[in-house]
Amino acid sequence: MRDETSVRQMMAEAIDRCGRVGVLCNNAGIERYRVTEDYTLEDWQAIVHTNLLGIFLCSKYALPHLRKVRGSVINIASVQAVACEPSISVYASTKGGILAFTRAWRWITPRTACE
């Protein structure tokens, strides 16, 4: 989920195998429980790149295909986006980012009858 080339290849393979993409469910996520000052830069990058960059990359490469068939995207966040437990500040930050990323889409994607 963190590597653009891998995500691009995954999407191309899905199109080759299935002929189209009708739904994208962004559900990858990791956490490392630590107090904020104990997180390392490696921890931060692993969590942010998996939880946020992964959603961005998968969405970037799926959206052109989804628009063709009026497909759907499901972004999985967490209650931690709004009600955080101790020792998960990085995870909670990414889950809040997922909510913001998803809300911003209504301005860049065609609206549906459900909105």
Q: Give the burial string for 3-37 (b: 16+ CB within 10 Å, else e).
A: eeeebeebbeebeeeeeebeebebeebbbbeeeee
Catalytic-residue membership of 91: yes
Task: Look up residue 5 and give its two tokens.
Answer: 């080339």
CB 97 within 8 A of CB 59: no
Say which of 33, 39, 61, 91 is annotated catalytic: 91
Beta bridge partners of 24: 73
Q: Which residues are catalytic?
A: 91
